[in-house]
Amino acid sequence: MIAMASRRSRFEIYVDVLTEIRNGTCLPTKIMYGANMSWVTLMETLELLNAQGLVEEHTIEGSKRSRRRYTLTGKGKNVLSYFKKVKDLLVPEAAVKIPV
């Protein structure tokens, strides 16, 4: 029997995008590939994260077209820090030893 892959929640998608940006990926296309998502979903996510003050959008004017780059704000870094703390507190069931 083949197990079905579970879908990511919105929160997990937000964390994946924030993590990509924290790791130095600043161009939208690279963020899209790193977070394994579609362009439309990425743009909606970046718009929401920007509106919440978790990322900043920087537009760089070029000779042919402008390019967008994204950086993490202090608030975005705090969100990732809190997420890591919560994740560290969760212990997988397999790691819990039950005394016999």
Condensed to tens digits (0 to 9), the pLDDT of residues 67-87 reads 899 999 999 999 999 988 888
Report CA-CA distances (Å) from 45 to 9, 37, 50, 52, 93: 12, 10, 8, 11, 32
**How distant is the alpha carbon of residue 44 from its chain centre?**
13
37: containing domain = 10-82
Give a yes or no: residue 50 inside a domain.
yes
Type of residue found at 13: I
Return the CA Rg of the chain. 17
Q: What is the pTM of this model?
A: 0.79
Task: Give the pLDDT confidence of 41-51 residue by residue, as tens digits.
Answer: 999 999 999 99
37 lies in a domain?
yes
Structure tokens at 90: 């969760």
pLDDT for 62: 78
When divided into structural domains, the chain yields a total of 1
